[in-house]
Amino acid sequence: MAAEARDAVREDEVRAMVRDQIEARGVRDPRVLDAMRRVPRHLFVPPELHDHAYEDRPLPIGLGQTISQPYVVAAMTEVLDVGPGIRVLEIGTGSGYQAAVLARLGAEVHSIETVPEIAVRAADMLSRMGIQGVTVHVGDGWEGLPSHAPFDRIILTAAPPEVPGALVAQLAPDGRMVLPLGDSDQVLVTLDKEEGGTLRRTDLFPVRFVPMVRRRRNRET
């Protein structure tokens, strides 16, 4: 199949994914729907999985990591509520797909990845796609990025058993954190930082993410 025809097929798959898997399940923000259409998911998965890239399920990307299912990416993006100029800390770069969607909405994204090989791969893909506004850092997500704090929004793409205190401290007043929370039973949660630093928690729906782990220092490069 010629490259032009193959790209057209992929565009049809992207539109169908957004229509049937995301919009049909209740994601309504037109900015989010447009951002999801503008980020080709197949570029963020291994070549052998390209035929499955637009199915509504997580896929392995190597080294024990996964790319989240499209609906969950869209739902988390919608509830995160970002736009131009919003500073976002992402914990768990993974493939770079979630960061790309946030960047398409105009956010300034700082993304932390514990595995150097995955961080390099994601940064390279984002660069080759011409996506601006994303900086990938190798580090420990539990510690956050205090040198760049505070952040208007924080999003976690791996599940901690409890809310990391360092991330709460790096969330700006009136900021919002979106994260999967729990061990075997996980729930997607929003935490809104109110006046005085108190957190207002809202539980959204059950999810299944890889666990959030500490960075293994012996893997540094």
CATH code at position 126: 3.40.50.150
* pTM assigned to the model: 0.92
pLDDT at 9: 61
- Hey, which residues does 207 pair with through a beta bridge? 186
Q: What percent of the chain has pLDDT over 90?
A: 87
Please give the Cα distance from 162 to 73 (Å, whole number).
21
In this prediction, what percent of the chain has a pLDDT beyond 70? 93
User: Are residues 190 and 176 in contact, defined by beta-carbon separation less than 8 angstroms?
Assistant: yes
Predicted confidence band of residue 2 (pLDDT cuts 50, 70, 90): very low
Write out pLDDT tens, residues 152-198.
999 999 999 999 999 999 999 999 999 999 998 999 999 999 988 89
Look-up of token digits 């869209």: 74
- Return all residues near 25 (Cβ < 8 A) that are at least 6 apart: 71, 75
Burial grade of 109 (CB within 10 A; 0-12, 13-18, 19 or more): buried
Q: Which residues, including other chains, have CB under 8 Å from residue 178's CB and lie 6 or more apart?
A: 76, 79, 80, 153, 154, 155, 156, 188, 189, 190, 191
Tell me the three state secondary structure of residue 192.
strand
Where in the sequence numbering do the catalytic residues fall?
A: 68
What confidence tier does 7 reach under pLDDT thresholds 50, 70, 90?
Answer: low
Total structural domains in the chain?
1
Strands 87-91 and 108-113: parallel
The pLDDT of residue 121 is 97
pLDDT of residue 219: 41
pLDDT tens for 92-149 read: 999 999 999 999 999 999 999 999 999 999 999 999 999 999 999 999 999 999 999 9
Distance CA 144, CA 137 (A): 10
User: Whole domain around residue 74: which residue ranges?
Assistant: 3-219
- Report helix, strand or coil for 59: strand
6 pLDDT above the threshold of 60: no
The pLDDT confidence band at residue 10, using thresholds 50, 70 and 90, is: confident
Question: What is the mean predicted confidence (pLDDT) over 12-20?
Answer: 96
User: What is the distance between the alpha carbons of residues 108 and 117, in angstroms, rounded to a whole number?
Assistant: 23
How many C-beta atoms surround the C-beta of residue 115 within 10 A? 21
Average pLDDT, the chain: 93
